[in-house]
Amino acid sequence: MPTQGSERHLIDTKSAPTGAHRVVVGLDDSTASRAALSWAVDEAIRRGAALDVVHAWRPMYRNPADPLENTDVGATSQTHGDAMLTAALSSLRASHPQLAVARHLVRGRPSAVLLEAAAGAGLLVVGARGVGGCSGLSLGSVALHVVANASCPVVVVRGTQRSVGPVVVGIDGSSESPAVLAAAFKEAERRGSPLCVVWALYIHSKAEGVPDPVAAQAVAEADARSALKPLLASASRHYPQLEVLTSFDVGYPAEALVNASTTARLLVIGARGGGGFVGMEIGSIAHATVHQSRCPVLVVRSTATESGSSAEGEGSRSATVAERV
């Protein structure tokens, strides 16, 4: 990474992979950040990828007399960040000696530093909130900014990190759905977990002008099943042994996904679905879900799915599909 202050250190003697074979994680002093680092380590091992640990530092306050901020205050912030990275890498050397790790100590705004560091990477991992912000925030400004602007998939680590349970994916039939579904299949395969595909049926009430909500639900579910069938057939053909569940939940999509996340290992969603408008960076459903999910959330953009999510695999049989309604 060309930004001033960047530094690399490899745990093993091999050159670290680059590009899509990198997992990038942001590190600060927060509990959420430490959880993100732990999650990112496990994910890098699952992927056989290198891990880039990034800390953005800034002077603790602005000094009008020193616009370049080359004071001891700035040096203190940089030294603190360096010590944090040194401690983190020392621990990783002891616990994961074969993992290739790079450290990056970069001066700048955290979200901008992370976005630059993750350019071309396979995944960016952040905690739900860092050391800044107000108490009670469910999602910090840095996490929200990178989710909305990253060029690669982003995982927001929040809720409970489970070793068992399904990978849950939210699908709505939009143009993003094939990429999101492909990423979800890959994540489920990596974990040896079943995949639960959630399609939320949002049915308007009589007060909203629908004369027969029951009939409307039946039509909506039939349409959803019809639309989902070819998507599943396409995505599942590379994963013949993977168990797939489908769920057609009635209600607001974000609520259905958050409910499903209570037992999930990972929740996979698109950055924006079929609603919204052109130019929107993150849709309302994704926005609500990353704020409220009870497990880590992977946010996928159709133009930024990881290479290999739709790679050819052996076998031509479709995955075993069960149904939960």
Burial degree of 304 (CB within 10 A; 0-12, 13-18, 19+): middle
Among the residue ranges 27-36, 175-184, 309-318, the one predicted with the least confidence is 309-318
pLDDT tens figures, 195-221: 999 999 988 877 777 888 889 999 999
Which comes out higher in pLDDT, residue 208 or 276? Answer: 208
Q: Is 79 left (phi over 0), alpha (psi -120 to 50) or beta?
A: alpha
Do 85 and 33 fall into the same domain? yes
- Domain CATH code at residue 318: 3.40.50.620
Which comes out higher in pLDDT, residue 2 or 290? Answer: 290
Which comes out higher in pLDDT, residue 182 or 129? Answer: 182
Q: Is residue 235 part of a domain?
A: yes
Task: Say how many domains are in the chain.
Answer: 2
pLDDT tens figures, 149-201: 999 999 999 999 999 999 999 999 999 999 999 999 999 999 999 999 999 99
* Residue-number span of the structural domain to which 148 is assigned: 19-157
Do 131 and 230 fall into the same domain? no
Q: What is the pLDDT of residue 74?
A: 62
Is a pLDDT exceeding 70 seen at residue 233?
yes
Do 31 and 130 fall into the same domain? yes
CA torsion sign, 155 to 158 to 161 to 162? negative
Among the residue ranges 77-81, 132-136, 198-202, the one predicted with the least confidence is 132-136
Do 132 and 193 fall into the same domain? no
Is a pLDDT exceeding 70 seen at residue 19?
no
Q: Which of 113, 135, 157 is the last residue of a domain?
A: 157
Residues of the chain with pLDDT > 90, as a percent, come to 66
Rg for the chain, CA atoms, rounded: 21
Phi, psi angle pair for 123, to nearest 5°: -165, 140
Q: Is residue 289 part of a domain?
A: yes
Q: Going along 128-280, which residue ranges are E strands?
A: 154-157, 167-170, 195-201, 243-250, 266-270
Phi, psi angle pair for 223, to nearest 5°: -65, -40
Confidence band, pLDDT 50/70/90 cuts, at residue 144: very high
